[in-house]
Amino acid sequence: MNGKIALRTELSSDYRATENTVREAFWNVYAPGAAEHYLLHCLRKSPDYMPRLATVAVCGDTVVGAIACAAGSIRTDAGRTLGVVTVGPLGVLPDWQRRGIGRMLLDRTAALAAMQGHPALVLCGDPAYYSHRGFVSAETYGIRTADDMFFDALQLRELSPGALKGCAGTYHESPGYAFDESGVAAFDASFPPKLKVEGTPTQLRFKQMLTTMRPR
């Protein structure tokens, strides 16, 4: 798996390849099988989807990594609403992982979002990974989930110094992330079949992360 990696904005002609990359990246990670490729498929139809921030990592003609974004918001305790960029899904083909591609995708997204005037990136993910990629716990800024809970997996990356100062409040992702899970099976059937496995280490880690949600 050698070759030069190039990053560019996703094209509509990449959609199927991008969905396949995301499917491969998330298969059996958080649950048996995956739904993130269908989430991406649905998210593109949302008015909150941000195509100018959608990036693919390619090696030749192969999409080896991809990142998608949508508009989200922080509703501060002081009564303000601050627009932020929600990151996800972000995926890299398994054979191409641990080569810095995820970091490259995140850094390009951060640079583009900063140029567009956005204050921060927000995502839900494993702190063990994202803490090494410029993200810190949302609790650092007093920011909670939409249900007013602190959650270790809720991570933020400021795009300029002090961008989140005084922004304690609740984070709200786009309704575009609330896809209808009843459509996953039919959509997944259009891809090559894969074995679903339960009880993987990453699934157990995900269950552990869910226990870190707590009231403020």
For position 1, what pLDDT does the model report? 58
Q: How far apart are the C-alpha atoms of 53 and 121, rounded to whole Å?
A: 11
Nearest to 44 by CA among 200, 177, 189, 213: 177
For position 126, what pLDDT does the model report? 94
The answer to the question of residue 195 being in a domain is no
The answer to the question of residue 184 being in a domain is no
pLDDT in tens, the chain (216 residues): 567 999 999 999 999 999 999 999 999 999 999 999 999 999 999 999 999 999 999 999 999 999 999 999 999 999 999 999 999 999 999 999 999 999 999 999 999 999 999 999 999 999 999 999 999 999 999 999 999 999 999 999 999 999 999 999 999 999 999 999 999 999 999 999 999 999 999 999 999 999 999 998
The answer to the question of residue 187 being in a domain is no
For position 47, what pLDDT does the model report? 98
Q: Give the chain's domain count.
A: 1
Q: How far apart are the C-alpha atoms of 16 and 143, rounded to whole Å?
A: 35
The answer to the question of residue 122 being in a domain is yes
CATH number for the domain spanning 120: value is: 3.40.630.30
Q: How far apart are the C-alpha atoms of 150 and 171, rounded to whole Å?
A: 10
Residue 87: domain span: 6-176+202-215
The answer to the question of residue 193 being in a domain is no
The answer to the question of residue 209 being in a domain is yes
Burial class (CB in 10 A: 0-12, 13-18, 19+), 114: middle
The answer to the question of residue 116 being in a domain is yes
For position 2, what pLDDT does the model report? 66
The answer to the question of residue 114 being in a domain is yes
For position 3, what pLDDT does the model report? 76
For position 216, what pLDDT does the model report? 87
Q: How far apart are the C-alpha atoms of 215 and 146, rounded to whole Å?
A: 12
